[in-house]
Structure 1
Amino acid sequence: MNKFSDMSTFVAVVEAASFSEAGRRLGTTKSLVSQRMQQLEKRLGVVLLTRGRPLKLTEAGQLFYADCTRILLDLARAEESVQDRQASLGGTLRLAAPMAFTPRYLAPLLARFALRYPQLCVDMEAHDRVANLQDGGFDVAIRLGNLHDSCLVARPLTENRHLICASPDYLARQGTPEHPGDLQQHDGLIYYNREPNGMWSLPMDGAQHSFRVRVRMRTDSGHQLLEGALAGLGLAILPTFLAADALLDGRLVSVLDDYAPSGGHISAVYLKTLKTSPKVQALIQFLGEEIGRPAPWDAALIAHGLLPNGSTA
């Protein structure tokens, strides 16, 4: 039994005037919110809410709501007073990040961030598996693509644009596809985390469609996709932060630009709490300012006419 959690849920229900909306705000389900309210009323031995449209507070509910908001405010202030003592951003910031984005771009940014806050220890792990923030191992994670975990707060840093790329040598041998339907005649490099079934999902006529490509290589490494494309093994869907240099110097060429898949965003994600950690806030603000929109790699492609000037995410 977590009384503070019960209070937070009750306050969310009252302020949302709806179990389903309260669930959305709390990152949980309507049924779980309803169950918590029933358990709370049973424990207190009183009816707090009259179910209907809209929900209404009973007299006991009004008294309990006033007390809950006061207690939760006191709790938030207590946390703020502790955090204010760490205004210099001391301690440890635990961060997880994708390997593909780290060496070229994130690593130097984190080094400059650590220089700005000398009392802060940046504890960073880079790997391509998705880090679990629920187990308490990390304060924040950098994620690529579309996000679906409603238990996390996501702060987009910039677009994660993607292009379908191949080497000039490959295109000279196999020809240039003009339509996604041509992909079945081409070799493709498959990214496990995005295309586990070997099909490419591309936008066409306002909807997503799946297209078969001949599998030449499978990998969970973005860098391996890049090297495979550079070697002329086939077509690869690559994020522009990986492909930009090769596109600029002509080692890669983008094809099927009208059907380039959305890559969502590069985002910082963290657990929902009453108050976001100042360390996490500082990192998100720093990365957002340093990366910018468009990001430097996209700005270079746009300047050379190799990328449309606008988000595809």
Structure 2
Amino acid sequence: MGSEGTDRARELEVFSAIARTGSFSAAGRALGLTPSAVSRTIDRIEARLGVRLLIRTTRALTLTAEGLSYLGAARRILADLDEAERVIADQGAPRGRLRVSAAFSHGRLCIVPLLGDFVRRYPHILIDISLTDAVVDVAAGQADVAIRFGPLADSALTARRLGETGRSIVASPSYLLRHGTPEVPEDLLHHNCLNFNFRRAEPLWPFRRDGRDYALAVTGTIEANNGETLGQLAAAGVGIARVGNFGVVDDLAAGRLVPLLEAFNPGDVEPIHAVFVGGANMPARVRVFVDFLAEALR
């Protein structure tokens, strides 16, 4: 950038600092300039534009209508310059600690296996991952990125859709041999149905018959806070579980579990999102991680 461009950018900084601090002397202290240098800068801008930007009295400093318009433009231009420099600086090597929160089962089965590839691609990023089914407060700084299932609550966070997962009712061949195979949903009332125990868990299992959706209350001897545990219990012959498909793919393929009542499956799916604080100041490490997940999980 030539000296004229540099001077213009400095003028924008000076004018924005005056508007922010409310005085020439305070703006000078913030920028390392004398009040007279600040005053000369404003005189130069006003002379070039041919308008008054500021009205100065012994008690107050007020922006004119033209000054307000100039301030809005100055802030946009400075923000664009900051963003351009941040993008260029971060393109080579995003770095820093990245705190990730993921649900226990999905994190262990689907996120953790991807981390080796990610850190090989971005060796200057330190992944700090926590697997928990508790909902962490991203807006309060408890994590940089959180993986969420289901509908999202309204918030100021940015969300990036990573995919979705369906659900299936499953049991082991050994359990079915001992207790029989349910043919219709109502048969589940006579079986040991394993459920979730967290507050947002559905108390009912949904079904669809003849185009009509309905739900059935089921009971069992064990509840757990994650689908992987329920899938393991079902594979061990303890009971019947309704879990996310991603957690039982291997067991179904190996025959350790079999799907049940597929003719009555309502086809409900849970969307999966990465949520994070977006905006112009979003760190490059957050951006590249979310992009990586969206690509890898697609």
Fold shared by both chains (TM-score > 0.5): yes
Q: How much does 1:115 deviate?
A: 1.2
Percent identity between matched residues is: 32
Are the counterparts in 2 of residues 202 and 209 from structure 1 also a CA contact under 8 Å? Answer: yes
1:165 and 1:72 map into 2 onto residues whose CA distance is 56
The yes-or-no answer on 1:134 pairing with 2:139 is yes
Q: 1:165 Cα deviation (Å)? A: 0.7
Shift of 1:89: 0.3
C-alpha distance 163-69 of structure 1, shift in aligned 2 (>3 A): farther
1:224-272 deviations in Å (ceiling 9; x for gaps): 2012111222211121221011101111011122415523123211124
Amino acid in the other structure paired with 1:78 = D
- Root-mean-square deviation (Å): 3.1
Q: Which residue of 2 aligns with 1:264?
A: 270
The letter for the 2-side match of 1:263 is V
Amino acid across the alignment from 2:88: D
List runs of 5+ in structure 2 lacking aligned partners: 1-64
Query: Counterpart of 2:222 in 1: which secondary structure?
Result: strand
Aligned residue for 2:139, secondary structure, equals: helix
2:102–2:148 Cα contact (<8 Å) kept: yes
**Taking structure 1 as reference, are residues 233 and 285 closer, same or farther at Cα in structure 2, changes over 3 Å only?**
same
Q: 2:243 — aligned with what?
A: 238
1:287 to 281, 293, 297: 293
Q: Distance in 1 between matches of 2:245 and 2:110?
A: 12
Aligned residue in 2 for 1:25: none
2:27 is matched with: none
Asked whether the 8 Å contact 2:108–2:131 carries over to 1, the reply is: no
CA distance in 1, matches of 2:67, 2:182: 68
So what's the TM-score if we normalise by structure 2? 0.68
Matches within 5 A, 1:199-278: 199-203=204-208, 209-258=214-263, 259-260=265-266, 262-274=268-280, 276-278=282-284
SS in structure 1 at match of 2:221: strand
2:73 matched to 1:92? no
What is aligned with 1:170?
A: 175
Whether the 8 Å contact between 1:93 and 1:279 is mirrored in structure 2 is: yes
Q: What's the CA shift string for 1:51-110, capped at 9, x where partnerless? A: xxxxxxxxx7x9967854652453253244234322210112121111112333321211
Please give the TM-score of this superposition, normalised by the length of structure 1.
0.65
Distance 2:171 2:187 in 1: 14
Q: Return closer, same or farther for 1:125/1:197 CA change in 2, 3 Å cut-off.
A: closer
What do the CA deviations read for 1:133-169 (whole angstroms, capped 9, x no partner)? 0211211112233323433222122221221111112
Counterparts of 1:1-313 in structure 2, within 5 Å, are 67-68=71-72, 71-87=75-91, 88-193=93-198, 196=201, 198-203=203-208, 209-258=214-263, 259-260=265-266, 262-274=268-280, 276-292=282-298
> How far has the Cα of 1:121 moved from its partner?
1.3
Note the C-alpha offset of 1:190: 0.6
In 1, Cα distance between equivalents of 2:113 and 2:72 = 45
1:183 Cα deviation from its structure 2 partner? 2.6
**When the two structures are aligned, how many residues end up with a matched partner?**
236
Alpha-carbon distance between aligned partners in 2 of 1:274 and 1:226, rounded to the nearest angstrom: 42
Q: Write the letter of the residue equivalent to 2:169.
A: I
Residue 53 of structure 1: aligned partner: none
Q: Which amino acid aligns with 2:156?
A: C
**1:28 aligned partner:** none
- Could you tell me how far apart the structure 2 residues matched to 1:256 and 1:235 are? 11
Distance of 1:79 and 1:209 partners within structure 2: 51
- Structure 1: distance between partners of 2:181 and 2:74: 66
